[in-house]
Amino acid sequence: MTCESPDSAADTTNNMTASRYAILFEPLRIGPVTTRNRFYQVPHCSGMGHRRPQMLAAMRGLKAEGGWGVVCTEYCSIGADSDDGHYPHARLWDEEDLKAQALVAEAIHAHGALAGVELWHGGSTVSNLSTRLPTLGVRSLPATHSTLDPIQSRPMDLADIRDLRRRHRAAAERALQAGFDIVYVYANHGYLLHEFLSPRRNDRSDHYGGALENRARLVREILEDTREAVEGKAALACRFSLAAEEGGDYLETEESRDLFGLLAELPDLWDITIDGYTTEMGSSRYVKEAAQEDIVKQAKAMTSKPVVGVGRFTSPDTMVAQIKRGALDLIGAARPSIADPFLPNKIAEGRPDEIRECIGCNLCYAHNSLGVPIRCTQNPTMGEEWRRDWHPERIPARHAEARVLVVGGGPAGLEAARALGQRGYGVTLAEAGEELGGRVTRESRLPGLAEWSRVRDWRLGRLAEMAGVETYLASRLDKAQVLELGAEHVILATGARWAKDGVGRWLAEPFEGWQRDAVLTPDDLMDGQRPEGPVLIYDDDHYYMGACVALLLRTAGQAVTLVTPQGAVGHWTTYTEELSRTNARLIEEGVELITNHGLVGFDGESARLACSFTGRERAQPAAAVVPVTRRIPEDALYAELRDDSEGLAAAGIRSLQKIGDGNAPSTIAAAVYAGHKAARELGANIAAFDARRERAVLE
């Protein structure tokens, strides 16, 4: 009888895993180029674009290092009349833009991946606020940009169309000069070419409007022009949307398939999405993994060319099944590649359990929409690859042999403990409660937020592998205990609690009656408290919590009224592409919505509301009130320790800091980032913003 060593057992497991997922690593020919595997980072926004080319190149290059076979740019403007204002998109207008894009392509090529560029004209969607050029469109339409600028497009005449074709071809030629291997024609998402395809937008009477063939003419011509420009040097890709059974935003179901059939063999690759952005970019609250399979599979059946499709894929088994079922040829990803740029390598190396799975919160998308670099709840290094030289898999070794005490096992504390353990410190993690995860654990039990538990679970999985990290539950520490534990560095991640006084954006002082027992907080509800009678939720937070606690109560059968000073519930979720779905869900579940009103009083039987504009008051029956307005940092322990400098010195504590919600309440992403930053910079004496900046060139 022979005994297998632990190393050989691990090798056997890795070999079995590699065999199981071998299909994901088969090369695939795409026109004149070949991708090394089936992992394809589809074009996605970055918040970097033409404003931050070095940040952008480092971020895209790191994905190639992580094993993605193809890495694409975000939408890349072909000219100054395709200017999306505060969104920092990519550009290929001239030679200076060519240099910036060459930097991106070079970074991708450095790790053996193919580089793709998505050429783009915004049409009526954009406002050209920076360039101040007239917007061009299939007809004169108001700008559909999220800012709803009071601008309309100019209908394109035949000369405009000829000029567009010329400029698109010139951009394709610049893309070749920059070194791109795949060049896109972008025909969906409501932009110019999609306008021409759509009978809802296109009412032209010339040979670019009317019949199906006419509406497809411009896309066909630009595909043919681009083919001539890149023939034999780069692959030609086309991004296109098919409508679901209920129809799409721009095309009806059958018509979208008929249009696709007219173009099916023209490009070398099809990048297929669903004609409905709230589904394609849907958060995990509403859209689950592989939700677009049926749509992508229909396109796959209609063409002989390779097809890439997305579905927020995080499970290797799901990826394999997609290919084996003939749904697609390439595993497309945007958000999963942000959450874990090394996802392909982890599968290849037999470590799929280490994948940092996307939680579908859409914080990445939100920050691009705000005009700043994307960030990620799961991956705190996203956006910091060039600026701070952070790597998602590597971290500097400890600066000295030292023990670190982390107080609080929420998202900030877990990430701090994990990253400190990775650096090689001895870590004690003390959590006051009976379970780890803090707000992540509590909030993931709310309707729709189950996948958010991945933030906790991934970190617990890594901590379980670290012998140098000790975790203690039910350990609420006071000042004396902290001083006695013998740690040289103390990091407090003690979180925050929801306030019940209603103070927030709309109210500067507490509402009348806020001290009543029937005034509860979201924390009370998450702890299991349930009021009797009709409940009024006052949402001045404008993110997800107000809607989630409303649904929590409503699905339990309680009458719920949700009041907000804004014009829609969850106003900020317009950036996460959840606003419409959230309000529709609340209405469907029978939650009464009262918008443009604030809470000014509660007497135990009714709430007093005031119009946000006129101040006119009205009464709303309510037996209980739940304000969702602000959170208060739990920082008393920090204050006690900070004010006892002699005690800290006597205990040998060299550094003390508070992080996450206990320092400044914000998103879970901000808490994870704070934990990572504290751990990565321990012992380095780095200023709060000691980072490289992209600077304008002054001539």
Element (H, E) at 498: strand 496-498
Instruction: Provide the 10 A C-beta neighbour count for residue 19.
Output: 10
| Secondary structure of 187-225 in HEC code, one letter for each residue | CCCCCHHHHHHCCCCCCCCCCCCCCHHHHCHHHHHHHHH
Element (H, E) at 608: strand 606-611
The catalytically annotated residue of 21, 75, 186, 191 is 191
Element (H, E) at 170: helix 158-178
Cα–Cα dist 50/386, whole Å: 15
- Residue (of 288, 289, 287, 308) closest to 297 by Cα position: 308
Q: What does each C-alpha distance from 181 to 78, 299, 674 come to in angstroms?
A: 17, 23, 38
Contact 94, 79 (CB under 8 A): no
Instruction: Provide the 10 A C-beta neighbour count for residue 649.
Output: 10
Burial of 690 (0-12, 13-18, 19+ CB in 10 A): exposed
What is the dihedral sign for C-alpha 96, 97, 102, 108?
A: positive
- Residue (of 509, 516, 627) closest to 563 by Cα position: 627
191 is catalytic: yes
Which residues on adjacent β-strands are paired with residue 627? 538
175 Cβ contact list (under 8 Å, min separation 6): 76, 92, 101, 117, 119, 183, 230, 234
Burial of 136 (0-12, 13-18, 19+ CB in 10 A): buried
Residues designated catalytic: 191
